[in-house]
C-alpha cells in the first residue's frame, strides 16, 4: 500500500501579492515542489476589506502552485501580520508544594499557564514563545529539566492579533476549500527561514517590510524578546515619491524600483531621470538626487523608529548577528546601508535556507515569509521527532 506523501504548504496573503509554496517532507527533510503568486485584492491599508475577493486570490494562488507541483493540497500554514499584531511578555507560575526535579511536562504546563491570559474581546491569541525559566527566584534557565525546585516560573512572549482580521483570513481560506493547519506570525516565519539557530543565540533582529504593513522580531539567546508591527512600510516610500515629484502612484512605484536608492551617494545622483507625466503633457526631467532625497528621509525615519523599539528591550547594542531585512520593501537599493548607519549593526537581506531544490528565481527577500511558513508546516508534520530531538525552547513551541 502506497504511503500518502506529507505535504508542507505555506500561504502568504500579502496586501500586494498572494504567494503559495508547496514542499514535501522526505526523510525528515523538506524538498520544494512548486510555487505560485498572484496579485492580491480585497485589502486596504493592511486590513481585509473584501473576504470574497481574498478567497479568489487564495484559490488562484494555491491551484496554480498545485499545478506546478503536481499534487493536491488539503491544508496549509497561513501567515498573519500587519498593524493588528501585538506582542508582550507574560509569566506563568507553577507551585510544586515541595522541592522535586523538573520534568518536561512541568515546563509545558508552566508555559501553558503563561498563555492563560485575559484578552480584550476583539483580540485573539496567535502564538506563545517561551523565553526562559525561573527556579525558586533564580532566573535565566533555558532548559531546567532535571534541576530541583519548588516553584517554577515560565517567562514567555505572547503574540496576539485582531480577532476580526484573524477570522476573516481563516474564513477566506476555508471558503477556498482548504484547511488551516495553523496561523503563524509572518516575521517569525521569515526568521525561521532566514536565520540559523546559532545566530538567534547571539542576538539578531529581523524586519519584514511589506507593501502596507511591517513587522519585526528580535531574538537574544534563542529567545524571542520582541514581536511587534510598526506603521512604516513600502507604501509610504511610494506615496512620498508621488507627492514629492507630483506623479501618479503607479509612476512613483516605477521610479522607486528603477532609479531609487535609500542612501544618497550610492548611485550617480547627478544623473537626470525622466519623470512621466499625464497624457497630453510633455515629460519632465529631474536630477536622480531629488528622488533619492525623498527615499532617504523615509528610510532614516523607519530605522530610527526601529532603533527606539530595540532600545526598549535593551537590544540596541546587542545585535551581534545584526539586522536581517525581508519583504518587498527590503528590495529597495540602499536599505541595508541605511540600516547599518542608523542601527550600528551589520545588515543583510534575508533569504530562505534549508529547502532542497529551492529555485534560484525565489532567492529573493520577498519570498522568505512564504518559505518560512512552508518550513513551519513541515516542522508540524515532524513535531513528535522535534520534541524528541530538541527538548529545549523549540520543543515547547510545538507541544
- Residue 279 CB contacts under 8 Å (≥ 6 apart), including other chains: none
Residue 167 has pLDDT above 90, yes or no: yes
My answer on whether 139 and 262 are in the same domain is no
CATH of the domain at 241: 3.30.420.40
Least confident of 18-32, 35-49, 168-182: 35-49
Residue 228 has pLDDT above 90, yes or no: yes
My answer on whether 224 and 113 are in the same domain is no
* Spatial separation of the C-alpha atoms in residues 327 and 206, rounded to whole Å: 10
239 falls within a domain: yes
The more confidently predicted of residues 46 and 23 is 23
Residue 307 has pLDDT above 70, yes or no: yes
Count of domains observed in the chain = 2
Residues in the chain, how many?
A: 399
pLDDT at 280: 63
My answer on whether 136 and 265 are in the same domain is no
Cell of 294: 525623498
My answer on whether 210 and 271 are in the same domain is yes
My answer on whether 230 and 281 are in the same domain is yes
Look at residues 129, 159, 189 and tell me which one is the last residue of a structural domain: 159
Residue 142 has pLDDT above 60, yes or no: yes
Residue 388 has pLDDT above 60, yes or no: no
Local confidence band at 392 (pLDDT 50, 70, 90 cut-offs): very low
108 falls within a domain: yes
The more confidently predicted of residues 326 and 119 is 326
- Residue 194 CB contacts under 8 Å (≥ 6 apart), including other chains: 206, 324, 326, 350, 351, 352, 353, 368, 372
- What's the chain's average pLDDT? 91
Q: Tell me the residue range of the domain where 154 lies.
A: 86-159
My answer on whether 152 and 202 are in the same domain is no
23 falls within a domain: no
134 falls within a domain: yes
Give me the phi and psi of 127, to 5 degrees please. Answer: -155, 155
* Spatial separation of the C-alpha atoms in residues 75 and 178, rounded to whole Å: 5
Local confidence band at 210 (pLDDT 50, 70, 90 cut-offs): very high
My answer on whether 292 and 204 are in the same domain is yes
Residue 44 has pLDDT above 90, yes or no: no
333 falls within a domain: yes
Look at residues 103, 128, 159 and tell me which one is the last residue of a structural domain: 159
My answer on whether 209 and 137 are in the same domain is no
CATH of the domain at 139: 3.30.1490.110
32 falls within a domain: no
My answer on whether 260 and 323 are in the same domain is yes
My answer on whether 212 and 282 are in the same domain is yes
* Spatial separation of the C-alpha atoms in residues 320 and 342, rounded to whole Å: 15
My answer on whether 152 and 207 are in the same domain is no
My answer on whether 322 and 221 are in the same domain is yes
- What is the pTM for the complete model shown? 0.92
Question: Greatest CA span in the chain, whole angstroms?
Answer: 84
The more confidently predicted of residues 227 and 199 is 227
Nearest to 80 by CA among 160, 193, 175: 160
Least confident of 2-16, 71-85, 249-263: 2-16
334 falls within a domain: yes
192 falls within a domain: no
pLDDT (average), residues 243-265: 94
The more confidently predicted of residues 250 and 390 is 250
pLDDT at 382: 86
Local confidence band at 84 (pLDDT 50, 70, 90 cut-offs): confident
Amino acid at each position: 500500500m502506497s504511503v500518502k506523501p506529507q505535504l508542507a504548504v505555506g500561504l502568504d496573503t500579502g496586501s500586494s501579492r498572494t504567494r503559495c509554496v508547496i514542499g514535501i517532507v522526505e526523510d525528515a527533510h523538506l524538498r520544494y515542489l512548486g510555487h505560485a503568486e498572484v496579485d492580491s485584492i480585497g485589502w486596504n491599508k493592511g486590513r481585509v476589506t473584501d473576504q470574497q475577493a481574498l478567497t479568489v486570490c487564495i484559490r488562484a494562488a494555491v491551484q496554480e502552485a498545485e499545478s506546478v507541483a503536481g499534487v493536491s493540497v488539503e491544508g496549509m500554514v497561513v501567515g498573519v501580520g500587519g498593524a493588528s499584531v501585538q506582542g508582550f511578555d507574560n509569566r506563568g507560575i507553577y507551585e510544586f508544594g515541595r522541592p522535586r526535579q523538573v520534568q518536561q511536562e512541568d515546563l509545558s504546563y508552566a508555559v501553558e499557564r503563561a498563555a492563560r491570559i485575559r484578552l480584550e474581546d476583539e483580540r485573539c491569541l496567535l502564538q506563545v514563545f517561551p523565553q526562559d525559566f525561573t527556579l525558586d527566584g533564580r532566573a535565566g534557565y533555558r532548559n531546567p529539566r532535571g534541576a530541583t525546585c519548588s516553584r517554577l516560573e515560565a517567562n514567555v512572549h505572547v503574540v496576539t492579533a485582531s480577532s476580526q482580521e484573524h477570522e476573516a483570513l481563516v474564513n477566506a481560506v476555508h471558503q477556498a476549500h482548504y484547511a488551516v493547519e495553523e496561523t503563524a506570525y509572518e516575521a517569525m516565519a521569515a526568521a525561521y527561514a532566514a536565520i540559523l539557530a546559532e545566530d538567534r543565540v547571539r542576538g539578531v533582529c529581523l524586519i519584514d517590510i511589506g507593501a502596507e504593513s511591517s513587522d519585526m522580531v528580535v531574538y537574544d539567546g534563542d529567545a524571542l524578546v520582541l514581536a511587534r508591527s510598526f506603521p512604516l512600510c513600502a507604501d509610504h516610500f511610494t506615496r512620498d515619491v508621488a507627492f514629492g515629484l507630483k506623479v501618479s502612484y503607479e509612476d512613483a512605484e516605477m521610479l522607486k524600483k528603477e532609479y531609487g536608492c535609500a542612501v544618497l551617494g550610492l548611485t550617480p545622483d547627478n544623473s537626470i531621470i525622466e519623470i512621466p507625466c499625464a497624457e497630453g503633457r510633455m515629460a519632465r526631467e529631474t536630477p536622480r538626487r531629488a528622488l533619492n532625497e525623498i527615499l532617504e528621509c523615509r528610510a532614516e525615519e523607519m530605522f530610527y523608529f526601529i532603533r527606539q523599539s530595540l532600545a526598549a528591550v535593551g537590544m540596541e547594542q546587542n545585535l551581534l548577528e545584526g539586522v536581517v531585512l525581508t519583504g518587498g520593501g527590503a528590495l529597495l537599493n540602499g536599505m541595508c546601508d541605511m540600516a547599518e548607519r542608523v542601527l550600528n549593526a551589520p545588515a543583510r537581506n534575508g533569504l530562505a535556507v534549508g529547502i532542497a531544490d529551492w529555485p534560484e528565481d525565489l532567492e529573493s527577500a520577498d519570498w522568505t515569509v512564504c518559505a518560512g511558513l512552508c518550513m513551519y508546516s513541515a516542522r508540524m508534520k515532524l513535531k513528535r521527532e522535534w520534541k524528541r530531538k530538541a527538548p529545549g525552547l523549540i520543543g515547547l513551541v510545538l507541544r
